[in-house]
Amino acid sequence: MRLVSPNFSDIAEPNIEMKKFPDGDNYTCLPEIKDGEVYLFHRLYPEQDSALMQAFFMLNTLKRSGIKATLVSPYLPYSRQDKIFKKGEPLSAEIVCDLLSHSGAARLITVDCHFLKKEGTFKYGNLEIVNLSAKKLLVDYAKKLVGEIEVISPDMGANYLVAEFGGKSMKKVRGEYEKGEAAYRKIEKVEMDFDISGRNVLILDDMISTGGTMIKAIENVKKGGAKKVLCAATHGFFLKDSLQKLKNLCDYVFVTDSIPSAVSSVSLKDLLFSHTR
């Protein structure tokens, strides 16, 4: 059986009640469940901390009823905090996975999870994760737009997204944390040491957040003489005015509907539904 959160109403009719108490605390209420196993479709972004609490509550309800639950969420928040860069930091990615497992998730189905960097089934912390990839959907969409393309990634971490298409990767170097309230490590450089002149180029990443990585990558391929430039990712946050900046810089910008936006041209529905029932 599929349980569908209101934040997934674009792919199926929601059947979960979700509200806020007057003080802002989350309230969730699941429908009656007859099967011994469910797929819980619930996005964990935007408002990731609140969405995680809602997930914990729903998973706990299922656990107490003895129901096996698979959480289906294409984007896993905190997945970029899987390494300790500076002494004193937590392993946030592992904590989130442990909490999901502890709350009752038998497994998580997600898409292009940042720290896994390949498709398949993995154990991370105490959680079993089925990591799907949107790479083929995104590349097929790009080919429909402009025909043959070179598929490249803006850093080595996203190389797994482009390797099967014969793609190469740029090298990104991040510096120390910047001063100020935002925990952000500045991008010092993104280097490209291969030729793309005269070709249509798709720059593919797992996510676009501030757009800083993509902007530097687009500048590189334009300098390198690319014909048409497309930029795409599985997860598009498009913080601040980054979407407009990217649109101004390249020919096409698109992402999946992992996080719905004005440029979510590629649907994950069939991919997610083919792994659930």
Burial of 186: CB neighbours in 10 Å, binned 0-12, 13-18, 19+: exposed
Q: Answer yes or no whether residue 210 interacts with ligand R5P by CB under 6 A.
A: yes
151 strand-pairing partners: 202
Among 74, 104, 212, 236, which residue sits at the site for ligand R5P (rule: CB under 6 A)? 212
| Beta carbon nearer to ligand R5P, 203 or 271 | 203
Asked if 127 is part of the footprint of ligand R5P (rule: CB under 6 A), the reply reads no
Contact residue for ligand R5P among 206, 229, 236, 253 (CB under 6 A) = 206
Contact 152, 196 (CB under 8 A): yes
Assess 5 for contact with ligand R5P (CB under 6 A).
no
User: What is the nearest approach in angstroms of ligand R5P to the Cβ of residue 46?
Assistant: 16
Residue 158 sits in the site that holds ligand R5P (CB under 6 A): yes
Q: List the one residue from 6, 157, 224, 260 that touches ligand R5P (CB under 6 A).
A: 157
Q: Does 77 bind ligand R5P (CB under 6 A)?
A: no
**Counting contacts by CB under 6 A, is residue 161 touching ligand R5P?**
no
Pairing mode, strands 105-111 and 201-208: unpaired
Contacts of 14 by beta carbon, 8 Å cutoff, 6+ apart: 4, 5, 6, 8
Query: Is 207 near ligand R5P (CB under 6 A)?
Result: yes
- Give, in order, the Cα–Cα distances in Å from 32 to each of 3, 56, 61, 65, 131: 10, 18, 11, 11, 29
Cβ atoms of 250 and 230 closer than 8 Å: yes
Residue 112, interface with ligand R5P (CB under 6 A)? no
Least distance (Å) between residue 95 CB and ligand R5P: 19
HSE-up (13 A, CA, CB side) for residue 203 = 33
- Decide if 179 is catalytic: yes
What is the rounded CA–CA span in Å between residue 7 and residue 221? 37
Report the nearest approach of ligand R5P to the CB of residue 114 (Å).
Answer: 6
User: Nearest approach, Cβ of 233 to ligand R5P (angstroms)?
Assistant: 8
Please, which residue, 155 or 257, has the CB nearer to ligand R5P? 155
Check residue 208 for interaction with ligand R5P (CB under 6 A).
yes
Binding part of the chain for ligand R5P, among 56-64, 88-96, 115-123, 206-214 by CB under 6 A, reads 206-214
Residues involved in catalysis: 179
Which residues are near ligand R5P by CB under 6 A? Answer: 80, 155, 157-158, 205-213
